[in-house]
Amino acid sequence: MSGPLAGLRVVEMAGIGPGPFCAMLFADLGAEVIRIRRPGGTIFDTEPRFDVTGRGCRIVELDLRETDAVETALALVEKAEVLTEGYRPGVMERLGLGPDVCLTRNPRLVYGRMTGWGQDGPLAARAGHDINYIALTGALHAIGRPDTPPPPPLNLVGDFGGGAMFLAFGVLAAVLEARASGKGQIVDAAMTDGVALLSAGRFAGRASGRQTNERGNNMLDGGAPFYDTYACADGNFIALGAIEPQFFTRFREICGLHDPLFDEQMNKEKWPAQKRALAAMFRTRGRDEWVTLLGGDDTCATPVLDWDEAIGDPHNTARNTFITIDGVKQPAPAPRFSRTPTAVPRSARVSGDDTHEILGKWGLAKPHIDRLLA
């Protein structure tokens, strides 16, 4: 393995969505990630290579209803620095793999727990999904147009931003501390906590009076005419983000917007009229025509690309933002490192193919492995 996390051993309890994504981040950066999964269990019902968030990880199949399997999982935990899981509170304890047991076997272990609601609180035991977690933090209310219900912003904000990314950040912080102190700890990563923290700037705006609770009435939520998307003549869209005065001035110069209506950029009373004028202007040309006109200057105007177009974009192509693994186009590992660069990840593994090899490599005796597999 190559990358800045080479040498880090991670045991991941197989789950869905943000859990595998967090494990993929570790694997992308060089960690050895072992995913414990029930025999025959899989997220994808097609070829493993399509399971992008499973790339770089290796699989050990264990039926944790069996005593030998639990003991095997604990043996792996003893050799790891990190364990991550994304089950509801209490599930790992019922399996015999709770933090008390694992930290007794490995006092240096960082035990990462990710849930939507957290390990405690009135909702801790309740089911939920990304849309529920971002709804409870105020973030969902702030997204969308003022005359429509808030739209689900995919599951990027709660699952991956507020969940997986904060789990990865917290786990790595705890690993640094454990390497210094020799003591592990539990990392409680709740998506509600993470999304609330992602919204720090919005709460600062509320406290200062710069941010209103009205959707589509603020600078970054589509209220400002200079920070929004606009439909073009061909049905495609352009994204405009000319916040700073110098960028807005250059945008006006190129587009010939000499109307005094645009002189007061930050006058919210004029925003609706400015927005109507810009909407009419953008409808006069196709998206690519606007990109040709505006894209070569500091106007902060870019095309709104779909998934397929993004892969072929010249900037993304030049930076190899997307790579191909086993015929599957997917995002490359990020961020990038000057001295410890990451390798191209291998695609997800066929379930169970690695079990015997991994258990032997991690120090389990052959009679134990043979008995377990039998």
**Residues pairing with 32 in the sheet:** 9
SS3 84: strand
The residues carrying an active-site annotation are: 129, 159
Return phi, psi of residue 224, to 5°. -85, 135
Rounded Cα distance between 270 and 250, Å, is: 19
Calculate the CA dihedral of residues 75, 359, 43, 191 and round it to 10 degrees: 30
- Cα angle value 272/275/279 (rounded, 5°): 140
Which are the contacts of 224, defined by CB distance < 8 A and separation ≥ 6? 218, 243, 271
User: For helices 18-28 and 165-181, what crossing angle results, to 10°?
Assistant: 50
Backbone region of residue 118 per phi and psi (left: phi > 0; alpha: psi in -120 to 50; beta: other values): left
The sheet with strand 110-115 has its strands ordered as: 58-61, 32-37, 9-13, 82-85, 110-115, 185-190
- Return the DSSP state at 161: I
Rounded Cα distance between 257 and 250, Å, is: 10
